[in-house]
């Protein structure tokens, strides 16, 4: 590399440094201990098999996660394990009268739109179908399609049938406010007052990450003396090179 190229490269570095956007986890909870006030409902339980901590069990209801004072960002990624417990019936309960479904799950924003809506089924295959991995009411897939675990948690329906499924779910969406409300909602046709009797759900391994927008890095402007020194060095280098070539 020529010497004046080196001088110009140094000048570019001094005047044009930038910072690359990144992703930062701002909340994570595996529900092995106490649950804080960020959750609207703080019920926790341990799975019958393995004693895995989870938030729940819940029935036909909404549970809200509220986070404040978020750093500057332009989007958010939410990931979580959804426990689909006992006799969820998917889209429509196999056309029975009265229908046992649909049993619908959604993730939404407080005061905003639903981000993700689908249906899940554990019971009645192959008659019944579920929407997941598509959005409800689209998609007609066999029960438990896309599940990461089947009958690993130890929940039992009607004191007879092992019946639980785990789904690893992720949603990414645009977001810039420093306050976030996430609404986890189940609309279950047959959910009982005691959710342990029929359809219920729980959450585990909830993580919220922001796609950070860092403040622009402020680099002090080089003083007039530094600029003239660089230019002087560059001029001397050019002059020396020209004399060398002329010799």
Residue 235 has pLDDT above 80, yes or no: no
**3-class SS of residue 191:** coil
Q: What are phi and psi of 135, to 5 degrees?
A: -85, 145
Would you list the domain boundaries of the chain? Answer: 28-202
For range 214-221, the mean pLDDT? 62
DSSP 234: H
- Cα–Cα distance, 30 to 48 (Å, whole number): 17
Sign of CA dihedral 188, 194, 199, 203: positive
Q: Crossing angle, helix 3-15 and helix 224-246, to 10 degrees?
A: 160
What is the per-residue pLDDT across 73-86, written as a single tens digit (0 to 9) for each? 999 999 999 999 99
Q: For 50, left (φ over 0), alpha (ψ -120 to 50), or beta?
A: left
The number of CA neighbours under 13 Å toward the Cβ of 136 is 22
What is the per-residue pLDDT across 102-161, written as a single tens digit (0 to 9) for each? 999 999 999 888 999 999 999 876 667 999 999 999 999 999 999 999 999 999 998 889
Using the structure block, give the residue that is written with the tokens 């008659």: 127
- Cα–Cα distance, 188 to 199 (Å, whole number): 7
Higher pLDDT, 51 or 240: 51
Nearest to 53 by CA among 45, 42, 65: 45
- Cα–Cα distance, 157 to 240 (Å, whole number): 88
pTM of the model: 0.77
* DSSP bridge pairs for 183: 64, 108
Question: What pLDDT does residue 13 have?
Answer: 30
DSSP 121: B
| pLDDT mean across residues, the chain | 82
Question: What pLDDT does residue 2 have?
Answer: 37
CB 86 within 8 A of CB 103: no
Question: What pLDDT does residue 191 have?
Answer: 67
- Cα–Cα distance, 111 to 179 (Å, whole number): 12
Question: What pLDDT does residue 34 have?
Answer: 87
The beta strands (E) that lie in the chain are given as 23-29, 44-46, 53-58, 62-67, 73-85, 104-109, 114-119, 129-130, 141-142, 149-150, 156-157, 161-162, 164-174, 180-187, 200-212
What is the per-residue pLDDT across 39-74, written as a single tens digit (0 to 9) for each? 999 999 999 999 999 999 999 999 999 999 999 999
CA 67 centroid distance within chain = 14
- Cα–Cα distance, 101 to 96 (Å, whole number): 9
Residue 96 has pLDDT above 90, yes or no: no
- Cα–Cα distance, 85 to 64 (Å, whole number): 20
């Amino acid at each position: 590399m020529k010497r004046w190229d080196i001088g110009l490269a140094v000048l570019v570095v001094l005047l044009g440094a930038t910072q690359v956007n990144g992703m930062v986890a701002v909340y994570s909870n595996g529900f092995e201990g106490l649950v804080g006030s960020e959750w609207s409902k703080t019920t926790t339980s341990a799975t019958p098999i393995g004693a895995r901590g989870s938030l729940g069990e819940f029935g036909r209801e909404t549970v809200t996660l509220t986070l404040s004072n978020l750093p500057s960002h332009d989007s958010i990624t939410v990931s979580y394990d959804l426990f689909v417990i006992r006799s969820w019936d998917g889209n429509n309960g196999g056309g029975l009268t009265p229908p046992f479904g649909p049993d619908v799950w959604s993730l939404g924003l407080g005061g905003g739109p639903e981000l993700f809506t689908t249906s899940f089924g554990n019971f009645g295959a192959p008659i019944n179908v579920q929407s997941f991995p598509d959005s409800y009411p689209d998609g007609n897939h066999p029960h438990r399609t896309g599940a990461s675990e089947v009958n690993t948690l130890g929940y039992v329906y009607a004191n007879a049938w092992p019946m639980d499924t785990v789904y690893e779910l992720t949603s990414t969406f645009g977001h810039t406010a420093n306050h976030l409300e996430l609404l986890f909602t189940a609309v279950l046709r047959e959910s009982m007052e005691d959710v342990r009797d029929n359809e219920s759900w729980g959450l585990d391994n909830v993580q919220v990450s922001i796609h950070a927008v860092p403040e622009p890095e402020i680099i002090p402007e080089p003083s007039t003396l530094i600029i003239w020194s660089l230019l002087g060095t560059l001029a001397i280098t050019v002059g020396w090179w020209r004399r060398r070539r002329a010799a």
